[in-house]
Chains A and B, each alone.
Chain A
Amino acid sequence: MFDAKQVKSKAQAMRRDIVASITAAGSGHPGGSLSATDILATLYFGEVLNHRPEEPSWPERDRFILSKGHAAPVLYAALAHAGYFPVEELTSLRKFGSRLQGHPDMHKLPGVEVSTGSLGQGLSIAAGLALALRNQGSQAQVFVLLGDGELQEGQVWEAAMFAAHQRLGNLIAIVDNNNLQIDGQVEEVNSLGDIAAKFSAFGWQAQTVEGHEIAALKSALDAAAAHSAGPAVLIASTVKGKGVSFMENQCGWHGKAPSQEQCDSALLELGQLEQLAELEQLEQLEQLTEVGA
């Protein structure tokens, strides 16, 4: 059963793994991994994706494609916690011989649907996959996560036009709208305008959603999945570096590993938040018990 608190707790555990694995790697992309964490936690642990970690190539599984492949650490954390591979393996990120490549490699790691890393390509792949699945009569749905900066790639709009034209009702895109890219604010580098309006104009069902509110994400994803007349997109308002105060909204943390000291401080913060969440849960439980009594 869907439990927002449980999903939030998973998200915090994923955030700790993201920070720890990037620190161990000495390089990587924490900012855009942390902004997308609640989205992936909702997909994988909020009863959105219909999948079988013990059978990664189960034909009827829903597919998830990480178009913003540099956010690999958040995908790896989700897959590990879902049971695709041991959580302990997360600290092998980016190391020689590791299955956890700098950007996701479909042939190395179970659960990675397609290798990504060059921005702008995931929506085309997802659209082709959705079309072929529909032709097969499959009920599986295809989810794809894009960055907002990634929307500057022209191919995204080629794919957006195509998906609407083909009325791909089994395609759901999510935009991690954290407003930052490597060189600064998206607004300053090359502004995107009204993203939802753009997708709407292309013929998509578009919703904006608070990207760190699990319950809101869950209901928006369910609504998008239920929309069968054509493709649907969620513009998720997020904060780059979410959960680690010194990383939040800092574009300098796009592609930089924390020092061990910074990592410890981030883990403390993420752990405390986790404890607070647990406390809150306990208090609610106590209140319920009191009511019951």
Chain B
Amino acid sequence: MSELKATRAAYGETLVELLEAGVDVYAVDADLAGSTTTAKLAAADPRRHVNVGIAEANMIGVAAGISLTGATVFTGSFAVFGTGRAYDQIRNTVCYGNLNVKVAPTHAGISVGPDGGSHQMVEDIALMRVLPNMRVLVPADYISAKAALRIAAATAGPVYVRLGRANVPLLYEASELEDFALGQARVLRQGSDVSIIACGVEVALALQAAELLAERGIRAEVIDAFSLKPLDEQLILESAARTGFVITAEEHSVIGGLGSAVAEVLAAHPGLVERCERIGVQDRFGTSGGFDELFREYRLDAQAIFELVVQ
């Protein structure tokens, strides 16, 4: 867990790889092609990168139109604008039409940092998860982000890929790229006392919390949920049945995200667990600050997970 790399770093280069592999791929961005890294596709083939300027609704509409020719189209911008500002376009044009558009904005979550609450999107998973036809992938590191983008391209229809700006630890080896799949979670650490089911940057923090818990003799299982929709219900239920204690962790609102998705599964199996807790943003907006201080303030860090388990 030494090397750090942002999940967004996988975006542009994976698009170029898809193009080189013969995929009829396009990226449509909204004046953030440098930040999202989709500009790399423009460098490879300018005709396949469309910059609509600061116009997110048009970005989704143009992507939808391009997809009608059979192309695989990725959209950009920041998560707050790329989902929230263009929600009706995603709902009524992309999802209702089941079009081959991949919504993969970057800068999701509190980890955006100094830009503050206006830019820290903590509702995007909820917004995307509720849409029929939409699949939701939340990669935890650079390698799994690459895998998520490849899966998105290989899956017909709308897919949401949540990418971040912050540099986060590498959790996977490049050789594991093909091991990810839609609807599959991954167990990163086995344990029998508590199941910590995390997504995105919280996976690395959950692993840190597991280390702290191990010092106390508590054996935590850490699961990278990766595919939030479809969710790996079987793996989650098996782990929950084994430990009887589930904690979810996400840098997203506790309303509508991974915590809700897992709670929905557990609610259908009464008595399976004794305890279910959700680490996440507690129905608040974000605020400016650095990664560490924000994750402390919002009770998203390893210490918060640790304390919740031992309390």
Give chain A's interface residues, CB within 8 Å of chain B.
Answer: 63, 106-107, 113-118, 120-121, 123-133, 135-136, 154-155, 158-159, 161-162
Cβ A121 vs Cβ B61 within 8 A = yes
B55 to A, closest residue via Cβ: A158
Q: Is the CB of A161 within 8 A of B65?
A: no
**Assembled-state Cα–Cα distance A268/B66 (Å):** 45
Nearest 8 interchain pairs by C-beta = A124-B61, A128-B65, A128-B62, A158-B58, A129-B65, A158-B55, A118-B92, A125-B65
Closest beta carbon of chain A to B35's beta carbon, Å: 20
Interface size on B, residues (CB 8 A): 30
Interface residues of B in 33-65 (CB under 8 A from A): 47-48, 50, 52-53, 55, 57-58, 60-65
Residue among A113, A115, A118, A158 with the highest chain B CB neighbour number at 10 A: A158
For the residues of B in contact with A, the DSSP-based class is helix
* Least Cβ–Cβ distance between A214 and chain B, in angstroms: 29
Which partner residue on chain A sits nearest B71 by CB separation?
A: A132
Which B positions have Cβ atoms within 8 angstroms of A?
26, 28, 47-48, 50, 52-53, 55, 57-58, 60-69, 71, 88-89, 91-93, 96-99
Could you list 13 A-B pairs, sorted by A, with CB under 8 Å? A107-B97, A114-B99, A116-B93, A117-B96, A118-B89, A121-B89, A123-B61, A124-B57, A124-B65, A128-B61, A135-B48, A161-B55, A162-B53
Measured in the bound complex, the distance between the Cα atoms of B89 and A154 in whole Å is 13
Q: Tell whether A155 pairs with B58 under 8 Å between CB atoms, given A125-B64, A129-B66.
A: yes
Closest residue of chain B to A154, judged by CB?
A: B57
Find the A residue at minimum CB distance from B58: A158
A106–B99 CA distance with the chains assembled, in angstroms: 10
Q: A175–B69 Cα gap in the complex (Å)? A: 25
Q: Contact between A155 and B26 (Cβ–Cβ < 8 Å)?
A: no
Nearest-CB distance from A153 to chain B (Å)?
Answer: 9
B158 to chain A, nearest CB (A): 13
Structural contact, B68 and A129, CB atoms closer than 8 A: yes
Q: Please report the C-alpha to C-alpha distance between residue A125 and residue B48 in the assembled complex, in whole angstroms.
A: 16
Chain B residues within an 8 Å CB radius of A129? 65-66, 68-69
Q: Which A residues lie within 8 Å of B67 (CB)?
A: 128
Please determine whether B58 and A115 come into contact, CB atoms closer than 8 angstroms: no
Supposing A125-B65, A128-B28, A128-B63 touch, asked if A118 and B88 sit within 8 A by C-beta, the answer is: yes
Q: Which residues does chain B contribute within 8 Å of A114, judged by CB atoms?
A: 64-65, 68, 93, 97, 99
Closest beta carbon of chain A to B263's beta carbon, Å: 31
**Given the complex, which residues of A lie within 8 Å of B65, measured CB to CB?**
114, 124-132
For A107, A123, A131, which residue has the most chain B Cβ atoms within 10 angstroms?
A131
CA distance A123 to B261 in the complex (A): 36
Is there contact, CB below 8 Å, between B93 and A118?
yes
The answer to whether B62 and A162 touch across the interface, beta carbons within 8 angstroms, is: yes
Question: In the bound complex, how far is the Cα of B99 from the Cα of A123, in angstroms?
Answer: 17
B52, A133: Cβ atoms closer than 8 Å: no
Closest to A117 in B: B92
B53 to chain A: which residues have CB within 8 Å?
A: 158, 161-162
B30: min CB distance to chain A, Å: 10
Question: Are B58 and A132 touching (Cβ within 8 A)?
Answer: no
Instruction: Report Cα–Cα, A115/B98, bound state, in Å.
Output: 10
- For A155, the closest partner residue in chain B by CB is B57
Contacts of B91 in A (CB 8 A): 118
B47 cross-chain contacts in A, Cβ below 8 A: 135
Q: Are B66 and A131 in contact (CB under 8 A)?
A: yes
User: By CB atoms of chain A within 10 A, which of B71, B93, B98, B99 has the most?
Assistant: B93
